[in-house]
Amino acid sequence: MATKEPIRLGSKAQGFVADSSKGEIDFEKFAADSWVVLFSHPQDFTPVCTTELGAFAKLEPEFTKRGVKLLGLSADSTKSHEGWIKDIAEVTGGQVNFPIIADYDRKVANLYDMIDYQDPTNIDHDELPLTIRSVFFIDPKFKIRTIISYPASTGRNASEVLRVIDSLQASDKYKIATPVDWLPGQDVIVANSVKDPQAKELFPDFRTIKHYLRYTTLPQEA
Ligand code: BEZ
């Protein structure tokens, strides 16, 4: 029997067609040449999910500036999503303009291994498991670049999701890595693969703290 490939950093993001709050989505057409943040919520009209969706809705313009499309997922119908989106706006002031997949059959949740296997209370009215809070960062070549998994009981940090995008995009553009708690505009670390002679060419002002820890400043983006 063929075993399913595990989803890892570097795996190809699997395509799918699904209903959503913005009509049918063909994932590959939706993504086109953009980055996509695909993130699951257990269920509509639940408290933590409502606060998360409001936060992502408010940050959406920042994702758009970075060429990133948001794509939510919850195991309820499009009709339910429509009502919930109104509630989210009322409660948080965030207007959800990105699509939320209506994954009532868990098709996408199964494809991306989002099903909750550890919280017996995270189930729907038919006692079917809902999803955990997964986040998949998918680059324009459909490669999965980062995966974050939170349990249903822990709301995510929307700013952290944006920070990961900033780190991924900066390390794609320059031979660098980003240190703990890094934010755009702060110093970055020269990649270990870059030896000092090349570092002098790429980052003339780099500073050596230890031979394995060299900081530099990136040009400020417009
Ligand atoms: C919530 O969003 O509050 C939630 C949803 C499912 C399980 C637990 C919490």
Active site residues: 49
Integer CA distances (angstroms), 165 to 26, 53, 147, 213, in order: 23, 18, 12, 23
* Strand-by-strand arrangement of the 133-138 sheet: 100-102, 68-74, 35-41, 133-138, 144-150
d(C-alpha 138, C-alpha 37), whole Å: 6
Coil/strand/helix, residue 191: coil
For residue 122 and ligand 1, the question of a CB distance below 6 A is answered with yes
Which H helix or E strand runs over 55? helix 47-65
Any idea what DSSP says for residue 33?
Answer: T
Q: pLDDT tens digits, residue range 178-202?
A: 999 999 999 999 999 999 999 999 9
Nearest residue (CA) to ligand 1, atom 8: 152
User: Is the distance from the beta carbon of residue 120 to the nearest atom of ligand 1 less than 6 Å?
Assistant: no
Q: What is the pLDDT of residues 26-64, one digit of tens each?
A: 999 999 999 999 999 999 999 999 999 999 999 999 999
2 pLDDT more than 70: no
Indicate whether residue 46 lines ligand 1 (CB < 6 A). Answer: yes
Given a cut of 90, whether residue 5 has pLDDT beyond it is no
How far is the centre of ligand 1, averaged over its atoms, from the C-alpha of 130 (Å)? 10
- Say if ligand 1 is within 6 A of residue 161 CB: no
Q: Where are the alpha helices (DSSP H) in 78-207?
A: 78-92, 107-111, 158-173, 196-202
Cβ contact 206:176 at 8 Å: no
Give residue-wise pLDDT tens across range 109-165. Answer: 999 999 999 999 999 999 999 999 999 999 999 999 999 999 999 999 999 999 999
Radius of gyration over every alpha carbon of the chain, rounded to an integer in angstroms: 19
For ligand 1, whether the C-beta of 48 sits within 6 Å is yes
Determine the distance separating the centroid of ligand 1 and the alpha carbon of 45, expressed in angstroms: 9
120 to 40, 73, 85, 153, 169: CA distances (angstroms): 18, 20, 27, 12, 37
- The Cα–Cα gap between 68 and 25 comes to 16
- CA separation (Å) from 201 to 62, 142, 177, 196, 213? 32, 32, 17, 9, 17
CA end-to-end span of the chain = 53
Distance CA 93, CA 88 (A): 7
Q: How far is the CA of 43 from the centre of ligand 1 (A)?
A: 7
